[in-house]
Amino acid sequence: MGSYNKLGFSLIELMVVIVIVAIFATIAIPSYQTYIRKASMNQAQQEMQHLATLLDKHKAKNFTYRGFDISTINLPVNAIDENVRYTLIVRDGDNSDLTLDENEATGHHWVIQGQSTDINNYTLLLTSHGVRCKNKIATQVDFISCGSDQEEW
């Protein structure tokens, strides 16, 4: 009988490798998605705090928040359409229907809401009254509070 060399992998060996890779993917993908959600939320929180600082500087200079001309910011900055992870909305704290650059705004208080484009991520709220909360149920977050299931941040 002649001998022949066995080259390559058997079908069983390839199937085992595919199963192992599938198991790793099943574990890794949700962990990565959680990491991405947390990173985008942290970026939104950081930008909201930066806006709060800008609002305080504006009030120190003008004695009112009225006239602050940033009403909406998409994050990451300059992102468009499906690349937007959060939208930050700045409103008058006494009437959230008004932006701070409208003449009807009182300019005594401000409120910033961070709306996530990912339904599994938090909606954020930061106000000049010191409210700093988040909720995964976006419909519970308005410009006053984060609803019954709120968490502090």
Q: In whole angstroms, what is the distance from residue 65 CA to residue 40 CA?
A: 27
Average pLDDT over every residue of 41-68: 97
Dihedrals phi, psi of 112, to nearest 5 degrees: -125, 125
Q: Is the pTM of this model over 0.85?
A: no
- Cβ burial of 107 (10 Å; 0-12, 13-18, 19+) is buried
Q: In whole angstroms, what is the distance from residue 120 CA to residue 122 CA?
A: 7
Beta bridge partners of 110: 92
- Mean residue pLDDT of the chain comes to 94
Per-residue model confidence as pLDDT tens digits over 1-46: 566 667 788 899 999 999 999 999 999 999 999 999 999 999 999 9
Average pLDDT over every residue of 56-69: 96
Which fold, 11-152? Glycoprotein, Type 4 Pilin (3.30.700)
Per-residue model confidence as pLDDT tens digits over 110-138: 999 999 999 999 999 999 999 999 999 99
pLDDT-based confidence at 100, cuts 50/70/90? very high
